[in-house]
Structure 1
Amino acid sequence: MRTSRHHRLAVVLLAASLALAGCGASADDRAAGSEKAADGRPGPGYAADGSGADGKASDGTGSDAKAGPAATAAPEQRQRQHVVRTAVLSVEVADATAALAKARAVTEAAGGHVADETTERVDDDHVTSQIVLRVPQSAYDATLKELAGAGKLLSRKAAAEDVTDQVVDVESRIATQRASVARVRELMDRATKLSDVVTLEGQLSSRQADLEALLAKQAALKDRTALATITLHLDERERPAAEPEDDGPGFGDALSGGWNALVSTAKWAGIVLLAVAPWAAVLLVGYAGWRWLVRPRTARRRTAERADSGDAAS
């Protein structure tokens, strides 16, 4: 009986000591939590994800609440910008052919290519050329500077168009259209009626055509943003005409000039004679008629008149 009482007393004492130890530990934990809260750190009553001990979210004063907007804004800041760059240069050069070869070499060294070229010769000694170059965006500024320094820069026009919104919109529409095509294919796999299959095939063809159009637009945008376009006009400088050397007239020049003057005079004299010939022929015929027809008659009449006057006087 006494032994059982001793056991009960031992159990009560043990329980009391454990209770006292638990109260002390909880008091220490609360003190530590208050100190960490004062330092700006969450106490043991908060979970690692920012929720309280009761499982509810914190009031937004924790570090996760501050990191939320930054984590949301980070992808937008990291979004790549897509820009279409174009430039038009007009340069006057001494030799258009050599400048054209240099422009090709500069473009190939930059990793680009020649998209179009037109060259023509004017007046047999004047060459003009127009060449369209595609160069990577990273080499755009350096290539533009080197081409502009090939000769005398007459004009320069550069433009940059931000097409980031278009690129993002096309990518989003492509993703949506692919999902739509996948859904139609899934419905076709489940369709059992012929009418449903025919209807779904029409929908699939239409959506695939739209998807291909979007993919083509995406490829065009990618090409325009990956490579800048430079249109170069090369105009060859006109060479001054060589002036003839003037050493003064010589013996040969005098003889040649005299002969030319004689030939010119004879030619004009012949022209005058040919012009007067019809009038001379008419005058000659008139003179002949007067000389052999009119004049003898007049002479005989005068002789007869003189004879008659002499007879009358006698």
Structure 2
Amino acid sequence: MSFRVRPMSQSTSRDPVGVAVNRHPDQPGSGEQSRSWIPLAAVLAALLLLAAACSGSGSGDSSASDFEAASATTVPSPPAAGDAGSAESFASESAQTTVPSGGAVPAADGTEGEVGAIPAALQPADIGRDIIYTAEVSIQVDDVDGAAQSAMREMAALGGLLFGQRSTTEPEVITVLTFKVRPEDFSEALTRLDGVGEVVSQSVSTDDVTERVVDLESRILTAERSVERLRNLLDSAGNLDEISRLEAQLLERETLLEQLKGQLRTIQAQVSLATIVLTITPRIPPIPEAELRFDVSAYGGHDSGENCPGTSSLTLDEGADMTVCYVITNTGEAPVTDFEIVSSSLEVVTSDLIAVEGDPEQPLAPGARLVLAQETILQRDLTAHPAVFALADVSGPGVDRPAVEIQQGSTRPLTLDAVPDDSLPGFGDALGSSLEVLATLAGLLVVALGWVVPFLWILPIVVAVIWWRRRHRRRASDMNGDSVSVMNEADSSTGSDPGPTAD
């Protein structure tokens, strides 16, 4: 395995166009040679200024535009490879991009790209440093499997490799692909992946590991020299104790050397191939809007709601029949069901309402309306502000969402005026009152019978007891009469019997 050894006696840098220049401060003749070019450079500068003065306005505009385009993105010159103190400052400077005032990022071909494209400073370039490029991209698509196949084809066309794939279906469908591409293809790979689906998020990062590479190379070189010295000492060792001690030290140094080489190989592998993690999820449909319009009205009479809707302000005689109309219109984008109308003044029960138009047991589609009617009697003046409660189904294809509760009050209140009847009662009113009284008495009688019926079995027992007592008394009376008659007859027979006579 070969390692890059950077001599400490010279500094290596690159000029702004990327050409490496090795400068030797102690090289003889370098100062005299540069001073000999000064007069020639002055002559060439004068000729260039004269040519620029003779150029037209069109070429002047073009030169200005070219200069602005060239200065839109600034990449600082990298520090020397051995200059570890300025590595972090260079890494932060190389990640900065100057964006023109128009809000677009210049593309590679000189045209302006959309805002949000990968900045030019993140484009891999040969700047003589070891940089790890990493990107995380999340996209949403209609077909997850098809998008995954498309992404793998695009990366294969660039010579990229699929390093990992993870797909799940529960609790949600998701596919995560990990690609490795050459650093020079990093920007093109991101551009192609953007075309696979709708980009939800994109994160691009760079990590300048030049210092770590230089440090590892230096530590590996030192460890190799240490291992070589221990091997030489081991070859010349003369006793067992010294051999044992040297072997232990050699084993420790060789283990450290292999660890350092492994770390260096890992970093070099990360530098040689950029990593892109692509997360593909199904496209989530937007939550549909849930809205209702609720109108309430009334009219006189009972006709099962055939004349619905009525008016929002109604005047009727007190005790007159009237019909209240409830009109529910779905003005949203989601179907609505489970309607419940609430009004304390109208004493409405949703299940008792008459369905005039639509079916309250079925979902109300967007744009449709439901008309319900309530038949009642106007007893007094009132102003009603009813409200309707419902549930909107905001789920979509492949997306299960909980229902959304909607509460919507009436667009305007319902005002009802009851006119009292001050006229004298007539025959019909009297007859009606009498019938009401008879109905009340009949009701009371029915209630009384209802209380008596459970105790009817006691009546035969009471009658039987009374009959038995009467019969017992009669028999006792008859027996007393017979006894008196017998005694009288006995007395009579005793008193009439003559005694003995004397001769």
Partner of 2:149: 101
Alpha-carbon distance between aligned partners in 2 of 1:79 and 1:119, rounded to the nearest angstrom = 38
Identity of aligned residues (%): 28
Question: Structure 1 residues 111 and 202 mapped into 2: Cα distance closer, same or farther (>3 Å)?
Answer: same
Deviations 1:211-240 (A, max 9, x none): 000000011111111111111111112479
Which has the bigger relative contact order, CA under 8 A and spacing at least 6?
Answer: 1
For 2:245, which of 199, 217, 221 is the aligned residue?
199
Alpha-carbon distance between aligned partners in 2 of 1:115 and 1:61, rounded to the nearest angstrom = 50
2:165 matched to 1:117? yes
2:264 matched to 1:218? yes
CA-CA distance at 1:152 after TM superposition? 1.1
CA-CA distance at 1:111 after TM superposition? 2.3
Alpha-carbon distance between aligned partners in 2 of 1:192 and 1:209, rounded to the nearest angstrom = 25
In the TM superposition, what are the counterparts of 1:1-314 in structure 2 within 5 Å? 63-64=29-30, 80-122=128-170, 127-238=173-284, 291=457, 294-303=458-467
SS in 1 for 2:196: coil
Scaled by the length of structure 1, what TM-score is found?
Answer: 0.55
Deviations 1:4-62 (A, max 9, x none): xxxxxxxxxxxxxxxxxxxxxxxxxxxxxxxxxxxxxxxxxxxxxxxxxxxxxxxx996
Larger Rg: 1
CA-CA distance at 1:306 after TM superposition? 7.9
Deviations 1:112-146 (A, max 9, x none): 222222111247xx631111211111111110111
1:213 is aligned with what amino acid?
Q
- Calculate the aligned-residue CA RMSD, in Å: 3.8
Alpha-carbon distance between aligned partners in 1 of 2:127 and 2:198, rounded to the nearest angstrom = 40
Question: Structure 1 residues 207 and 76 mapped into 2: Cα distance closer, same or farther (>3 Å)?
Answer: closer
Alpha-carbon distance between aligned partners in 1 of 2:240 and 2:282, rounded to the nearest angstrom = 71
1:118 is aligned with what amino acid?
R
1:90 is aligned with what amino acid?
S
Question: Structure 1 residues 230 and 180 mapped into 2: Cα distance closer, same or farther (>3 Å)?
Answer: same
Alpha-carbon distance between aligned partners in 1 of 2:154 and 2:211, rounded to the nearest angstrom = 32
Alpha-carbon distance between aligned partners in 2 of 1:61 and 1:167, rounded to the nearest angstrom = 29
2:230 is aligned with what amino acid?
V
Alpha-carbon distance between aligned partners in 1 of 2:81 and 2:268, rounded to the nearest angstrom = 21
1:225 is aligned with what amino acid?
V
CA-CA distance at 1:94 after TM superposition? 1.2
Deviations 1:173-201 (A, max 9, x none): 11111111111111111112222111111
Partner of 1:260: none
Alpha-carbon distance between aligned partners in 1 of 2:146 and 2:201, rounded to the nearest angstrom = 20
Question: Structure 1 residues 304 and 204 mapped into 2: Cα distance closer, same or farther (>3 Å)?
Answer: closer
SS in 1 for 2:231: helix
Alpha-carbon distance between aligned partners in 1 of 2:80 and 2:466, rounded to the nearest angstrom = 142
Deviations 1:53-82 (A, max 9, x none): xxxxxxx996245689xxxx9987998310
Partner of 2:51: none
CA-CA distance at 1:108 after TM superposition? 2.3
Scaled by the length of structure 2, what TM-score is found?
Answer: 0.36
Structure that is richer in strand per residue: 2
Deviations 1:255-279 (A, max 9, x none): xxxxxxxxxxxxxxxxxxxxxxxxx
Alpha-carbon distance between aligned partners in 2 of 1:304 and 1:87, rounded to the nearest angstrom = 113
Question: Structure 1 residues 79 and 177 mapped into 2: Cα distance closer, same or farther (>3 Å)?
Answer: farther
Alpha-carbon distance between aligned partners in 2 of 1:188 and 1:61, rounded to the nearest angstrom = 43
SS in 2 for 1:182: helix
Deviates more, 1:94-103 or 1:298-307: 298-307
Question: Structure 1 residues 74 and 214 mapped into 2: Cα distance closer, same or farther (>3 Å)?
Answer: closer
Alpha-carbon distance between aligned partners in 2 of 1:67 and 1:224, rounded to the nearest angstrom = 43
CA-CA distance at 1:303 after TM superposition? 4.5
Alpha-carbon distance between aligned partners in 2 of 1:75 and 1:153, rounded to the nearest angstrom = 38
Q: How many residue pairs align between the two structures?
A: 203
Structure 1: any 5+ residue segments left out of the alignment?
A: 1-59, 250-285, 310-314
